[in-house]
Structure 1
């Protein structure tokens, strides 16, 4: 029976079909020949209806058994177009599934018992078809076509191949009644962590979440969507633009891409700040603070802060190029600021400084000032004689008083970071020229993005240069943390005319492969960013990736501890799977045991030679709700979701029906095509043929003509 009992057994023959057959035969007999049962036609009709009713009940029970056995081997196909994705103002759609309870653990344990093996494993015809398909691959022409027939993915094929998702379908097939699984939007401010190994559906789950975030309207306003994509997924970029256009937001869609700087938007990570010290924190915060490096990090912070304060006083917006220029040659900044200061306060000071400069020679220059410009030495001598108090001038003066060689050693750890951020065309993206009106590429900052309710795609090209990608990602995270702090204190519209304290809007931050981007600045974002409306959804492979990136187990635990919602796809690391399984309780499962025995009679004169007994016992065992092995065996596109204070859901995500990208502008189509063809996994680097369309341009025309003639001759010879 399909009804629940103390011991539920759904893996068995559908014996209810026998009752259905008998009821159908009896109903036909009552209708056709009621006289054979001593019934008149009216009573025969009533009896037939009674038989059909009982047969329908038994057929429903039989269908539950058959459906359970089918789902154990193969799940129904679940496909959804992006237009059909439900967008709610109250909940976030995740997929279809069920809440995992004790009965599901009991059903799953039964599938591993040997007596139920024939209901779980593929049928003999399926195994024979797969073996024959392998052999026919190398068969001659007429027989090789038969392999396509065997691989025909259709319900009419009795040996239909399983979908290429791997894993165990039984993990989801044990519950036939699926419902839409959703997450209340109020829970998202507690942040979400998505864990899963490579190519199991993390990016597709990100597309599902991002689609809803782009199209959702709360109180008549859209939400902010910021997506960090280190490796560069063309389908994700296409999905974001299509959804932004569908929602009427293509005017607020920004693409920042390090690998395609000619069409990328521009961004200054240190150009906007609430306190001037934030500039030094964002830059020096990326330097190592472990061991002896801590002292150099503090020195670097101090000198960057001195330079930033001087630039602001001079009316210049700080950027990486300016800071690098003045770190390498701080003398020029010292002279420029001194001119600015004395022009306002002591116009006649330069006459004395010029006289001091004229008296300088190699013999009377102090030892610590050797290598400095003479004007810098003259300025230092003048300031030592005249009492001038200006904090910025004093800071610059203390920097130039260091021995030149010693100063270079102190800032040596800072220069490699600045080189990463200012090399090649990347400098145009991270240090934009605000006065160049002929450059059509937009310039954005996070406060502007949040106020406009914009959609931002950040492609960091990590496969080409992981070091630069990490540096830029850290800079953006640090800037975003600073903006979140400002919003938390003053609100979004602070400083605007007629600004009033309004409700905070959700800021959805999706960080794919976030272990490649994160640093110490990521911890305050997930720890305190919720107060400013920041909702982080982070995607990575394992817990070890986080720990390896931060370099500290305690800090890695601090990061993971701030994610309230956990989506666990297939993982290969047991410690990562235990992050989910150790948070779940143990449950009691029931098992039946058949026991039989015989006892010989000790009375030689008795009529009984022996006695026998047979018992069917029910026992209970305490087992975990799910094991790490179950997480490792998940098919692609399926996950366990732990949300709302410990509710465990088993979810499968819809397969997205691809949309054509004709709606994308030409430059974004070129970028998407480049990403599809040029970006490969790190393990397949030997297959990379370079940027499509650029190989021919690197050769002269005469060599290209010779190459084409040789290729044509080879084809004719073949």
Structure 2
């Protein structure tokens, strides 16, 4: 019987089929030959209905056993087109599966027992066919076709190969009754962590979530979607654009890509701030603060803060290029700000400064000012004679009073970071020229993205330059944390006409960070710790816990990051410590085992007729075992995962395979970018052999984009000929 008992045994012959056969035969006999059972035709009809009813019940029980045995070896294919992904306003669909409990642990333990091996392992005929295919690969032509026939993946082939997903199918096959698995949207504010080794389905899960985030409309408004992709996944970029176009949001779709600055949007990581000190925090926060480096980072923060304050007072928007320029040469900024200050406060002061400058020579210049411009020395001597107080001018004055050689040493740690962010065409992306009206590339900032409910793809080209990718990613995270703090206090409509200060607005900001360990720094911790109050919902993807710890360099901080993720998706991992993160959070359960005990006892009565007595017993014992073991996580097939959702409920799920969809087209420029990413980024073993970007195809390009590309190519050619 298939009904549950104290000890459930599903791996066994379907003996119910014997009852089905006997019942069907008896029904036929009652229906067509009732006289053989001394029944009238009417009673024979009633008896036949009774036998058929019993046969249906027993066939249902047999079908449960047969389906269970089939799923243990092979799970039915699960395919879904992207347009068919359900989009709900209350829940996030993540796949199909079941809630794992004690029954499934009991069934899984049974599959490892030797008496059930023939139901779990491939049949001898299956193994024979696979060995035959290996040999036929090198056979002559007529025989080689036989191997293709046996490898035909179709239900009509009884010996077709298993799907190339690896792992143990039994981990999901122990429950034939699947349901749709979803996560309440209210739980996403607690953030989600996805762990899994390479090529096991993390990106597919990301596509599934991003698809719904782009198409979801709550209370008539779309949600913000921001995706950080360090390595560059062409399929992910294509999926985002296709879904944005289906939702009618292609006008709010931005692509920021360090590898393709010619078609990338532009972004100033330090151009928008609530307090001026945030500029220095975002830049100096990326410097090392361990050991002796802490003092140098503090000085770098102070120095950048002085420069940023001076730029703002001069009416300029800070960016990396200006900060780098003034870090290298602070004298020019000191002179410019002094002219600006004295023009407002003491117009005649400049005449005195010019007179002092005329009397300066190499002998009367103070030793600590040697190497500075004479005008800088003259301004410093004038300020020492008069009592003028201005915090910005005093800060610049203290910077120029340092000995030039000593000053270069203490800012040495800051210059490499600025060089990474201002070298080549990257400077055009991170320090955009707001006055250049002929540049068609848009400029965005996070507050603008949130207000427009936009979709942003951030490709950091980490395979080409991991250092620059990490620096830009950290800057973006730091800027996003600052914006989140502003939204938490004032709402997203602060400063806009008609904004209500009594009810700060908040919108869901879905941040997907693939390989987030490569981008993570100290600024990521407040994002996952406090960003939920501003509506930020982080979904982070990485391989192992050790990646997080290695990136941060501190086990306590790594634990602090992981502790802020309330939802956990665990795909196949290769590190036992990572698998234990899930296994150790689950309780132990009682499972039942059966054992046969037999024995014989000699009789002590020599006159008796019994020489011995024997007995045989079936014993049921219970054992306490973990709900799942780390080895089960290590053996997961591709596309499957364990998930802790809604306060620690364990679910076993699998993601749908993508079905081809002909209605998925991209603009020519983005298509060229996607093709380049497929050729150079996915094959990480040969990325260093790249010879530059492929030529854009001119067929079907918009006229304005084609003209821009031709002008750019002509300028590069002319420059090469001139050099």
Q: Judge same fold: TM > 0.5, yes or no.
A: yes
- Offset of residue 141 of structure 1: 1.2
Distance 2:318 2:563 in 1: 36
What residue number does 2:129 align with?
Answer: 129
Asked whether 1:309 is paired with 2:309, we answer yes
**Cα distance 1:301–1:661, how it changes in 2: closer, same or farther (>3 A)?**
farther
Distance 1:427 1:489 in 2: 32
- Offset of residue 689 of structure 1: 6.6
What residue number does 2:441 align with?
Answer: 441
Gap runs ≥5 in structure 2: 697-723
Could you state the TM-score of these two structures normalised by the residue count of structure 1? 0.96
Q: Is the 8 A contact 1:370 1:403 kept in 2?
A: yes
Counting only pairs closer than 5 Å after superposition, residues 252-267 of structure 1 correspond to structure 2 as 252-267=252-267
- Offset of residue 690 of structure 1: 5.7
Q: Is the 8 A contact 1:678 1:691 kept in 2?
A: no
Counting only pairs closer than 5 Å after superposition, residues 288-303 of structure 1 correspond to structure 2 as 288-303=288-303
What residue number does 2:82 align with?
Answer: 82
- Offset of residue 597 of structure 1: 1.2
Residues 566-619 of structure 1 show CA distances to partners (whole Å, capped at 9, x for unaligned) of: 000000000000100100000000000011111222222211122111100000
What residue number does 2:627 align with?
Answer: 625
Q: Is the 8 A contact 1:326 1:333 kept in 2?
A: yes
What residue number does 1:416 align with?
Answer: 416
- Offset of residue 663 of structure 1: 2.4
Counting only pairs closer than 5 Å after superposition, residues 349-388 of structure 1 correspond to structure 2 as 349-388=349-388
Q: Is the 8 A contact 1:280 1:304 kept in 2?
A: yes
SS of 1:165's equivalent in the other structure is coil
Residues 118-174 of structure 1 show CA distances to partners (whole Å, capped at 9, x for unaligned) of: 000011111001100111111111111111111100111121100000000000000
- Offset of residue 684 of structure 1: 4.4
- Offset of residue 681 of structure 1: 4.3
Counting only pairs closer than 5 Å after superposition, residues 95-244 of structure 1 correspond to structure 2 as 95-244=95-244
- Offset of residue 526 of structure 1: 0.3
What residue number does 2:276 align with?
Answer: 276
Residues 37-88 of structure 1 show CA distances to partners (whole Å, capped at 9, x for unaligned) of: 1111111111111000000000000000000000000000000011111100
What residue number does 1:341 align with?
Answer: 341
Q: Is the 8 A contact 2:680 2:687 kept in 1?
A: no
Distance 1:432 1:639 in 2: 43
Q: Is the 8 A contact 2:233 2:682 kept in 1?
A: no
Asked whether 1:651 is paired with 2:657, we answer no
2:562 to 560, 563, 567: 560
**Cα distance 1:503–1:394, how it changes in 2: closer, same or farther (>3 A)?**
closer
Distance 2:442 2:691 in 1: 32
Q: Is the 8 A contact 2:489 2:504 kept in 1?
A: no
Distance 1:91 1:19 in 2: 45
Q: Is the 8 A contact 2:681 2:687 kept in 1?
A: no
Distance 2:486 2:171 in 1: 46
Asked whether 1:531 is paired with 2:521, we answer no
Distance 1:133 1:215 in 2: 45
- Offset of residue 541 of structure 1: 0.3
Q: Is the 8 A contact 2:227 2:458 kept in 1?
A: yes
**Cα distance 1:686–1:395, how it changes in 2: closer, same or farther (>3 A)?**
closer
- Offset of residue 693 of structure 1: 4.7
Residues 491-518 of structure 1 show CA distances to partners (whole Å, capped at 9, x for unaligned) of: 0000001002254111000000000000
SS of 2:190's equivalent in the other structure is coil
What residue number does 1:672 align with?
Answer: 674
What residue number does 2:720 align with?
Answer: none
2:610 to 608, 611, 615: 608
Distance 2:368 2:189 in 1: 55
2:543 to 541, 544, 562: 541
Q: Is the 8 A contact 1:151 1:161 kept in 2?
A: yes
Distance 1:680 1:83 in 2: 25
**Cα distance 1:517–1:660, how it changes in 2: closer, same or farther (>3 A)?**
farther
Asked whether 1:579 is paired with 2:577, we answer no
SS of 1:270's equivalent in the other structure is coil
What residue number does 1:43 align with?
Answer: 43
SS of 1:159's equivalent in the other structure is coil
- Offset of residue 691 of structure 1: 4.2
Q: Is the 8 A contact 1:565 1:642 kept in 2?
A: yes
What residue number does 1:9 align with?
Answer: 9
**Cα distance 1:336–1:658, how it changes in 2: closer, same or farther (>3 A)?**
farther
**Cα distance 1:120–1:346, how it changes in 2: closer, same or farther (>3 A)?**
same
Aligned residues: 694
Residues 653-705 of structure 1 show CA distances to partners (whole Å, capped at 9, x for unaligned) of: 111113347521111001101100111344444776764459xxxxxxxxxxx
What residue number does 2:700 align with?
Answer: none
Distance 2:254 2:689 in 1: 31
Distance 1:473 1:21 in 2: 68
Distance 1:242 1:567 in 2: 26
Could you state the TM-score of these two structures normalised by the residue count of structure 2? 0.95
- The farther-off stretch of 505-514 and 659-668 is 659-668
**Cα distance 1:661–1:25, how it changes in 2: closer, same or farther (>3 A)?**
closer
Distance 1:113 1:200 in 2: 28
- Offset of residue 232 of structure 1: 0.4
What residue number does 2:712 align with?
Answer: none
**Cα distance 1:287–1:687, how it changes in 2: closer, same or farther (>3 A)?**
closer
SS of 1:302's equivalent in the other structure is helix
Distance 2:631 2:103 in 1: 18
Distance 1:609 1:673 in 2: 86
**Cα distance 1:437–1:391, how it changes in 2: closer, same or farther (>3 A)?**
same
Distance 2:420 2:128 in 1: 57
**Cα distance 1:39–1:636, how it changes in 2: closer, same or farther (>3 A)?**
same
**Cα distance 1:686–1:463, how it changes in 2: closer, same or farther (>3 A)?**
closer
Counting only pairs closer than 5 Å after superposition, residues 357-506 of structure 1 correspond to structure 2 as 357-500=357-500, 501-506=503-508
- Offset of residue 326 of structure 1: 0.3
- Offset of residue 231 of structure 1: 0.5
**Cα distance 1:63–1:684, how it changes in 2: closer, same or farther (>3 A)?**
farther
Would you identify which runs of 4 or more consecutive aligned residues in structure 1 move more than 3 Å? Answer: 658-662, 680-694
SS of 1:189's equivalent in the other structure is helix
SS of 2:351's equivalent in the other structure is helix
